[in-house]
A and B are shown apart, each in its own frame.
Chain A
Amino acid sequence: MDIKRRNLLRFAGLGAAATAAGIAPTLTRVGAVEAAPVVRKVVVIGGGFGGSTVAKYLKLWGQAQVEVTHVSLASTYVSPILSNLVLNGQKSLASLTFNLQTAATKLGIRFVAGSAAIDRGARLVRVTHDNGTETLLDYDKVVLSPGIAFNTLPSMLAANRGIAGGKLPIPHAWQAGPQVGNLKAQIDRMPSSSGVFVLCIPKAPYRCPPGPYERACVVADILKRVKRGGRVVIFDANAPTNPADKYTAIQAEQHTFSTAFTGAYGSIVEYVPNATLLEVGTTGGQFGTKTARVRLGDGSVRTQTCNVLNVLPEHKAGAIAFAADLIPVGQRFVPVDQQSYASLADPDIHVIGDAHDSKQPKAGHVANSEAKVCADAIVREFGILPPRTAEEVPVTNSACYSPISSTTASWLTVGFRYDPVSRQMVRIDASLAEAEQPSGDNYKMMLAWANNLFADTFSV
């Protein structure tokens, strides 16, 4: 009852704001609200794992009482999950591409392609289309899942300036798309037995904790199997937790990856923790020679020449979160109420996935999980479902499967539960587990998991 009244008041406010902004409000029947069912408008921004899932479940659980508009840069989305298998030719980018327009039609929601910006004052989302035209969307709630952006070194910006993603000399390939095809082409062109691949890993938090080590394994497997030799040098900006064991700098599945780096790939992989990237250089473009200059833990500087330089720059939330002023100065991700993902700066803008700040990893499976908690919270706030009881506490789960070779994979999983005292999603230690060793069975399960995750997220 209270909730209903609050929403009515809010609607009166919305009508006024929209009128003040000179926009014809579509929902100003405040006087008639008792009779007509209220339809709440939610604009979801981002077509990745967080955004696509929240758009679906808002509609599923809100039914006709929630009008969902899904906005993303393009009408297709390419999954970073499984994209390391593009490098060894086991997956194509096309097989990891999902059509957001088709999904929207299936779900009964509206899809709009373009670049979104939020005008919090006017309560409007402004979408700029490729052809320069704009669409204005008013909202009761925005859910933002814009993923990541990077703090890129000036020398890397300079080396890549003006060049398309498919041909960059120094790709990150950490958002799927042309850069992944580029990285594959560069690996394909590495000489047999003597090529050098350098991978630079940023300080945590970054997207997919095991992801960089997984990539190192897939590349080492290609060098071993196809090129009959070569090296993978990993410069990891993270520091070991135990100074006597450098592999304790590895950010996930330490057992699996240290075993791979010292065992199966012992003659290929060199793992260097505490390595801060200072500068990069290139001669000869995409397939030319590259250099990476790093400062090591002992203060010395090392310069490494290589055929392929794959730099994952420091991460931050997607630009729209900064533009909407949701991030305090000096921080890189959006602080949220971790029960509902409402931004602490604006309760009507919810932020999920890689862009928000919590102890949950920045990963696609858990972004799907967070999206469901967020959709549930919004539907309850709208009064469509009753408020959560004290026992109905948000619970999420994360899972990563990592290819270790062309036939084996490992996995990592963990759950999180909302703790009302610290007001954070806290790791459930008993649920933390990782594969005892890579196996062919895990490889099969990885593909089965991804198919179900894709089906749940992208309605395929």
Chain B
Amino acid sequence: MTGYRYSAALALLALAAPYAAADNGALLASQCYQCHGPNGRSKGEIDTIAGKSASDIYGDMREMQQKPDVDIMHAQARIYTDAELRAIANYLATLR
């Protein structure tokens, strides 16, 4: 390594759950963080989505995907395929 002091930073990044295995759950889930906060931990009124069970998140997303409600989260749910929703839910469930 060429020069930087990584130690403290690496510890912090390790806590922040690095990439798991070979699916793109980490990338897809990171597309929730703009609204739900880094690693799914919200700073305020919008719900924290880290640490819920995969089946809860997947169930919520499927339900929102299928309902015609005009709100921002229902629209967001319609972005993803079923396989993507599973990858997202599985990844978010690892962020305890």
Contacts and interface: CB of A to CB of B under 8 A. Distances in A.
A415 B76 contact: yes
Given A369-B31, A391-B83, A397 B13 contact: no
B79 A448 contact: no
A452 B34 contact: yes
B43 interface: yes
A432 B75 contact: yes
Interface in B2-50: 2, 4-6, 8-10, 12-13, 16, 18-19, 22-24, 26-28, 30-31, 33-38, 42-46
A231 interface: no
B19 A61 contact: yes
B68 to A, nearest CB: 10
B96 to A, nearest CB: 18
Interface stretch (A85-93, A102-110, A264-272, A287-295): A102-110
Contact of A109 (B4, B70, B83): B4
Nearest to A388: B24
23 contacts: A39-B2, A107-B13, A108-B12, A391-B83, A395-B28, A397-B31, A399-B34, A414-B75, A431-B76, A431-B78, A433-B75, A445-B45, A448-B45, A452-B35, A452-B36, A452-B38, A452-B42, A455-B38, A455-B43, A456-B33, A456-B38, A457-B34, A459-B38
A60 B33 CA distance: 14
A433 B44 contact: no
A63 B35 contact: no
Interface residues of A, number: 56
A328 to B, nearest CB: 30
B2 A67 contact: yes
Contact of A395 (B5, B26, B31, B42): B31
A27 B33 contact: no
A399 B35 contact: yes
Contacts of A397: 31, 34, 76, 79
A119 B26 CA distance: 34
A285 B10 CA distance: 53
B27 A373 contact: yes
B2 A453 contact: no
A141 to B, nearest CB: 16
A63 B13 contact: yes
Given A108-B4, A415-B78, A433-B75, A392 B23 contact: yes
Nearest to B47: A448
A37 to B, nearest CB: 9
Given A392-B27, A448-B42, 5 more contacts: A60-B18, A107-B9, A108-B5, A395-B79, A417-B79
Interface string A360-377: 000001001100110010
A413 B76 contact: yes
A418 interface: no
A133 interface: no
B46 A433 contact: no
Given A61-B26, A445-B45, A399 B9 contact: no
B46 A449 contact: yes
Interface string A50-68: 0000000101110110010
A435 B1 CA distance: 50
A57 B9 contact: no
B78 A430 contact: yes
